[in-house]
Every structure is written in C-alpha cells, then in structure tokens.
C-alpha cells in the first residue's frame, strides 16, 4: 500500500499505528513471495523429518523397554534358582556333617 492509502485510512495521525501497519504489510508481502513458500516447504520437510525421528525414537524406546522387561524376568528366575541351589547346598552340607559325626562315633 502506498502512503496516500494509509493516510486515507486515518493512519497518518499515529506514527505507532503507521509502523505496525507497515510491518504487517511487509510481512504479508514476504509471505506471498517465493522465498516464503520455500521456507514453509523446508519447515514442512523438517517437521516431517522430526516426526519420523520421533517415531524411530518411540520404537527404539519400546524395544529397549521390552528387552529390559525380559532381562528382569530372567533375573528373577535366576535368583529363585540360586536360592533353591543355596538351600540344597546347605541341606547337603548338614547331611554330610551329620554323616561324618555318625561315622566318627562308630570308629
């Protein structure tokens, strides 16, 4: 818009309003230009790439979560087996000590 049109809108009286109006006019001209469309295309591509990366990270996070869960379950099973083996070892040790005592008495 030219200055005569701005004056006809009554913008002439306020320099602050004039600056705001010119900024908006520049912005609309820029948005209608080719540079703006290439920027929006680039930003759209960038956002699509970010969405793809976000999905990859979510999938990787899910896979790691499932692996961790399996490892924790296996760890619990191994702890139970270790506890049973420890109890069995103690029982066998007591049996061995008892048999040694009884064999010592007969000698």
What's the pLDDT score for residue 6?
Answer: 47
pLDDT for the residue 101:
85
| pLDDT tens series, the chain, 107 aa | 444 454 455 445 566 666 677 777 776 666 666 666 666 667 777 777 778 888 889 999 999 999 999 999 999 999 999 999 999 999 999 999 988 888 775 44
* Number of other CB atoms surrounding residue 53 within 10 Å: 10
pLDDT of 105: 57
Note the pLDDT of residue 69: 93
8 Å CB contact between 81 and 89: no
Measured distance CA(71)–CA(61) in Å, rounded:
15
DSSP symbols for the chain: --HHHHHHTT-TT-HHHHHHHHHHHHHHHHHHSHHHHHHHHHHHHHHHHHHHHHHHHHHHHHHHHHHHHHHHHHHHHHHHHHHHHHHHHHHHHHHHHHHHHHHHHH-
Which pLDDT score, from 0 to 100, does residue 18 have? 64
> Which pTM value belongs to this model?
0.47
d(CA 6, CA 17): 10
Determine the pLDDT at residue 107.
Answer: 41
Distances (CA, A) of 79 to 62, 68, 84: 26, 16, 9
pLDDT, position 40: 66
Q: Tell me what pLDDT residue 32 has.
A: 66
């Amino acid at each position: 818009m030219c200055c005569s049109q701005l004056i006809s809108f009554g913008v002439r009286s306020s320099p602050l309003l004039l600056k705001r109006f010119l900024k908006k006019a520049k912005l609309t001209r820029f948005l209608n230009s080719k540079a703006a469309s290439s920027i929006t295309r680039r930003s759209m591509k960038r956002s699509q790439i970010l969405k793809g990366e976000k999905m990859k990270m979510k999938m990787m996070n899910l896979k790691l979560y499932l692996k961790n869960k399996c490892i924790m379950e296996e760890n619990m099973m191994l702890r139970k087996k270790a506890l049973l083996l420890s109890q069995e070892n103690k029982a066998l040790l007591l049996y061995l000590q008892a048999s040694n005592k009884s064999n010592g008495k007969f000698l």
